[in-house]
Structure 1
Amino acid sequence: MDGTIDREERHRLIDMITAAWKTKVIGEAVGLGLIEALAAGRHDSAAIAQSLGADEDGVMRLLRALAVLGLVTHEGSDRFSLTPLGDCLRKDAPDSLYGMSGHWNERMWNSFANLGVSVMSGEPSVPSGPDHFVQQQADPARADVFNRAMAEGSLRVGRALARAYDFSDVKTVRDVGGGYGALLVGLLEAHPHLRGEIFDLATLGDAALKWQDGQPVRDRIAYLGGSFFDAVPPGADLLLLKFILHDWNDARCRTILSNCRDAIGDGRILIIERIVPDRVGPGDEDVIRGDLIMLSVGGKERTEAEYRALLSATGLDMTGITQIDDRYAAIEARRVG
């Protein structure tokens, strides 16, 4: 091989190399309030800059970048308006990605900035661990960005799970480490016989229920405070663990699963994660990107065999895998015997 590639492939590689600028443009525009200002009816860069207390030239240049990305329309001179795609970045948009933009602009940005450190050391390279989660949830602003980012994805996953999995013999479903409990919304919408419980840190309770106030299933959702590293209370027919185990190393996962096993009795556990295929290729970007994020915080995405091993080590059987969509799977587990 002589190292040459055609023009189109070269530009595709350049797009990969420089993609970080898009994360920052979107994240900073949302964080500074540009999207909300446009949604409120301010369309010229000078008025937006004045309302935000920002530099007029800097705001103009950031708005032009958003126009290049198709998130705003440059109407001419210094006037701009939101496109339907850009409207999804509003905090209260029906299919909002507001939280995700902030999450990637800060926590995920820092994770990838330190990726090489974790590759060399095999250790977390950004703040992580149980104490870090407690500290993060104690900061209302940081907690809201993180929990909204998780909720935005969980709403879609929950609705897909409601279609893919049989809940007919379940009465109470508990979202363990559930944040705002967005995963429960789709399940309860689709299955009126279900009641839902969110189990997460006590400090998150008020914010979670405030977020749930806007949901049509609010009257069927309760909040339980606690840490899954200490214990999981009994009483639910089904425990959900969505994007929980991938945050932690094997030892931490065994603690979480053991506590869930002790709580579930004759019920079952659904572990909702991306499963790493035994052989990866270009179509596996989502799970491999996630795995590198988890590397920096001390967790990992796992193969089916690795999940089987974790469950076996904690007295649980893998009793089935339900594919929820093209990315996520629900791994069902029950107590051995």
Structure 2
Amino acid sequence: MSDKPTYDRIMQLATGFWASKALLSAVELNLFGVLAAGPLEATALRQRIGIHPRAARDFFDTLVALGLLERDAAGRYANGAEAARFLDPAAPGYIGGIIEMLNARLFTFWGSLTEALRTGEPQNEAKSGGDVFGSLYADPDRLEVFLRGMTGITTPIAEALAAAFPWQEVASVVDIGTAQGCVPVRLARAHPHLQVAGFDLPVVGPVFSRYVAAEGQAERVRFIPGDFFKDALPQADVLVMGMILHDWDLETKRMLIRKAHAALPPGGSLIVCEALIDDARQTHLPGLLMSLNMLIETRGGFDFTGADCIGWMREEGFAEARVVPLTAAHGAVIGRK
């Protein structure tokens, strides 16, 4: 039996960062935004994005091979369908914010995964003794990159969430740790009857306001400043925590669930959205890799299974809890008080 299939798979895994960095650099160079205006031949395209002649042909054709660009018989390059939908900054489905953050921060930090595995210590800004969130939130430019990244990863989740819960049965919702406000914007747009708000640190407020206004929801979506460590959570029929719990150790996870339970009315719901690991911890690669990312990024954070979260919710007083799939990578655990 030939060992070629195994060899090819191992080599594809080992060199996977080559393809990843090609995509990250293309987004950094705004290649897909430039091509949104129409096809360009190689010389014009390289001049528009500012790369060297030696690099251009291989770079563009790599993106063709990855299915992100198309090249016609005249040698002109154009965005493929996925790039046009998700990587053009002007497209409604743009997810480039998370790619910008991956490029600016995580690509380098993941180079120290082995050290993280050996020490159990984060490998980001906190490596020198600081606090990653304190460091990010103290720098307005880096904070905005981080918050755009959260919008990038959250957009498809928010759109799925808008259809995955009986919103017609409730009147109000607050998104806890809202970042730019992606979840409130999508919920407000899909359900005009809802009273919608986002809760986050005061420094996030201006970024939130700019995003919500740009999305045409300034009259519908309000910002509530606060700190979920120091303050009680806002009261609403539904509280959403999207990729919040995985940032923290178990004690903090349970504390936040407890605070949500206290803020909700009888019959109210807490929705926890995460890259839920499968209960057998064997098949859901996005959740397992995200948990390793929490090792890189935090001092105690980790991802978890749906069963784990259901258990924590029940222990903190929720009467019932269930898992609802959202996207291929993400699901929601919905607890009812």
Same-fold call, TM > 0.5? yes
Q: Unpaired runs of 5+ in structure 1?
A: none
Are the aligned partners of 2:33 and 2:90 in contact in 1 as well (CA < 8 Å)?
A: no
Instruction: Establish whether residue 198 from structure 1 lines up as the match of residue 195 from structure 2.
Output: no
Identity of aligned residues (%): 27
From the superposition, tell whether residues 250 and 319 of structure 1 become closer, same or farther in structure 2 (CA, over 3 Å). same
CA–CA distance in structure 1, aligned partners of residues 206 and 141 of structure 2: 14
Aligned residue for 2:335? 333
From the superposition, tell whether residues 308 and 38 of structure 1 become closer, same or farther in structure 2 (CA, over 3 Å). closer
Pairwise mapping of residues 5-20 of structure 1 onto structure 2 (< 5 A)? Answer: 6-20=3-17
From the superposition, tell whether residues 22 and 59 of structure 1 become closer, same or farther in structure 2 (CA, over 3 Å). same
CA–CA distance in structure 1, aligned partners of residues 197 and 57 of structure 2: 46
Q: Unpaired runs of 5+ in structure 2?
A: none
Larger CA deviation: 293-302 vs 30-39? 30-39
Are the aligned partners of 1:89 and 1:96 in contact in 2 as well (CA < 8 Å)?
A: yes
Larger CA deviation: 92-101 vs 148-157? 148-157
Aligned residue for 2:280? 279
Which SS does the other structure have where 2:168 is aligned?
A: coil
Deviation at 1:23, TM superposition (A): 1.1
In structure 1, what residue type is equivalent to 2:269?
A: R
1:34 to 22, 31, 41: 31
In structure 2, what residue type is equivalent to 1:280?
A: R
CA–CA distance in structure 2, aligned partners of residues 158 and 130 of structure 1: 31
Aligned residue for 1:146? 146
In structure 1, what residue type is equivalent to 2:277?
A: V
From the superposition, tell whether residues 5 and 166 of structure 1 become closer, same or farther in structure 2 (CA, over 3 Å). farther
1:4-43 CA distances to partner (integer Å, 9 max, x unpaired)? 7542332122211111111111111111232223334572
Which SS does the other structure have where 1:291 is aligned?
A: helix
Aligned residue for 1:133? 133
Aligned residue for 1:226? 226
CA–CA distance in structure 1, aligned partners of residues 24 and 319 of structure 2: 40
Are the aligned partners of 2:310 and 2:333 in contact in 1 as well (CA < 8 Å)?
A: no
CA–CA distance in structure 2, aligned partners of residues 172 and 228 of structure 1: 19
Which SS does the other structure have where 1:296 is aligned?
A: helix
CA–CA distance in structure 2, aligned partners of residues 305 and 40 of structure 1: 47
Aligned residue for 2:115? 117
In structure 2, what residue type is equivalent to 1:154?
A: T
Are the aligned partners of 1:321 and 1:329 in contact in 2 as well (CA < 8 Å)?
A: no
1:306 to 305, 308, 326: 308
Deviation at 1:233, TM superposition (A): 4.1
Are the aligned partners of 2:261 and 2:318 in contact in 1 as well (CA < 8 Å)?
A: no
Aligned residue for 2:77? 80
Which SS does the other structure have where 1:213 is aligned?
A: helix
2:89 to 88, 91, 103: 91
Q: Which consecutive aligned stretches of 4+ in structure 1 deviate over 6 angstroms post-superposition? A: none
With the length of structure 1 as denominator, give the TM-score of the two structures. 0.85
From the superposition, tell whether residues 141 and 30 of structure 1 become closer, same or farther in structure 2 (CA, over 3 Å). farther
From the superposition, tell whether residues 86 and 274 of structure 1 become closer, same or farther in structure 2 (CA, over 3 Å). closer
Instruction: Establish whether residue 173 from structure 1 lines up as the match of residue 170 from structure 2.
Output: no
CA–CA distance in structure 2, aligned partners of residues 52 and 277 of structure 1: 42
Deviation at 1:210, TM superposition (A): 1.8
In structure 1, what residue type is equivalent to 2:286?
A: D
In structure 2, what residue type is equivalent to 1:110?
A: T
Are the aligned partners of 1:134 and 1:201 in contact in 2 as well (CA < 8 Å)?
A: no
CA–CA distance in structure 1, aligned partners of residues 47 and 306 of structure 2: 54
Are the aligned partners of 1:235 and 1:263 in contact in 2 as well (CA < 8 Å)?
A: yes
CA–CA distance in structure 2, aligned partners of residues 280 and 149 of structure 1: 27
Q: How many residues of Structure 1 are paired with residues of Structure 2 in the alignment?
A: 330
Aligned residue for 2:269? 268
In structure 1, what residue type is equivalent to 2:289?
A: R
Deviation at 1:200, TM superposition (A): 1.1
From the superposition, tell whether residues 6 and 258 of structure 1 become closer, same or farther in structure 2 (CA, over 3 Å). same
In structure 1, what residue type is equivalent to 2:187?
A: L
Are the aligned partners of 2:125 and 2:135 in contact in 1 as well (CA < 8 Å)?
A: no
From the superposition, tell whether residues 75 and 161 of structure 1 become closer, same or farther in structure 2 (CA, over 3 Å). closer
With the length of structure 2 as denominator, give the TM-score of the two structures. 0.85
